[in-house]
Structure 1
């Protein structure tokens, strides 16, 4: 059986080296390389395709979310697990929206880390329970905000959801990442909202929705 080829992408050298030592102790996992940022990871994948990448979130030059997006676009077969010190739901949603298979805190035990890698390689998705709860809570809160009365323009639930996010200042790209929709789909929803509300831009749509109690 061939060993699982793993690339570690981590900003901090000591963390990179520690993870490499721990994973190389596993009989079925081989660390084929390490990178200190997303741009280096892309360059590495041009030379050697790993089976899985452990991807830090916050890095200079190119962060883990952007790197995941680019890698998944070019090599969708590569599995990606995000690693971070922070329980940041926004980054989790963005990374999962770009195709990442999992999310782990760096403080995870070696046993759970290697077990998580094997799980993802077998087709599983890796999201810690507390992170999953935070994601569900955020989605629930967002949906509650879109269930207010006063929808005089016959906006769908999804259109209300997108209008709510737009009113918070999110652009189309950020909305698409948050709701796991394509950029083109979000753009079409925005156009439909403008048409139904008879407005020209999101500032006018937001103002009208607030004035009339839709948001």
Structure 2
């Protein structure tokens, strides 16, 4: 089954190039394009896509505002940010609005294609540069107050795994950091997701960052 995609960017050349490039993939169907956030919201309501590839800085309605509205009216739709901005404010705003992934426009075709596919399965996708920014943000902020993570009944190890997810680390990196197997990491993640009510890694990242404001 094809992944239904909406491409949103206020620059016509970028928008059209992305639509053509991604539409060539056999498993991706570009069902609509939009030039601003307001059109993006309308396109989601009309076409019911699986994924929205969203720029951030646009007229009428920004990508962040559009992401929040889309997640409000269609929670199953995944929003994947593709932007030139990788500053702390943009990253946090997009993730807190409900974006499930964040790429910069330096990403190549293969990376964007894989990100769209992963997003369609509810998997968080973070550009390596964005992961580094998240690591910086998570480590420079104070740890959560005692009891914040324990409210979910997390074990000490699950708390460690949650914190590392918040730093943008992937499963192999978490396994290496904690000197445990990837299978064990997956078990801890499944448990903490169930306890915390997280549906994706993006949910977990947002939670960790919100506790360290």
Q: TM-score, normalised by structure 2?
A: 0.66
Identify if the C-alpha distance between structure 1 residues 177 and 66 changes in structure 2 by more than 3 Å, giving closer, same or farther. Answer: farther
Q: Could you say which residue in structure 2 is the equivalent of 1:135?
A: 134
> Secondary structure at the residue paired with 2:85?
coil
1:149-168 equivalent positions in 2, closer than 5 A: 156=145
What RMSD in Å do the two structures reach over aligned CA positions? 2.4
CA contact under 8 A between 2:6 and 2:53: conserved in structure 1?
yes
Q: Could you say which residue in structure 1 is the equivalent of 2:14?
A: 15
Question: Is 1:58 matched with 2:65?
Answer: no
Partner Cα distance (2:130, 2:108) in 1? 17
Q: Which has the higher contact order (CA 8 A, sep 6+)?
A: 2
Partner Cα distance (1:110, 1:127) in 2? 15
For this pair of structures, how many residues does the alignment match?
A: 155
1:82 deviation in Å?
0.4
1:62-141 equivalent positions in 2, closer than 5 A: 62-141=61-140
1:178 deviation in Å?
9.4
Partner Cα distance (1:76, 1:98) in 2? 12
1:76 deviation in Å?
0.5
Identify if the C-alpha distance between structure 1 residues 73 and 177 changes in structure 2 by more than 3 Å, giving closer, same or farther. Answer: farther
CA contact under 8 A between 2:22 and 2:28: conserved in structure 1?
yes
Gapped regions of structure 2 (runs ≥ 5): 149-205
Question: Which structure is larger by alpha-carbon Rg, 1 or 2?
Answer: 1
Partner Cα distance (1:115, 1:62) in 2? 27
State the Cα deviation string for residues 123-157 of structure 1 (Å, max 9, x = none).
3110122211111212322228x9xxxxxxxxx57
Q: Could you say which residue in structure 2 is the equivalent of 1:162?
A: none
Q: Which runs of 4+ in 1 moved over 6 A?
A: none
Partner Cα distance (1:180, 1:138) in 2? 11
CA contact under 8 A between 1:97 and 1:178: conserved in structure 2?
no
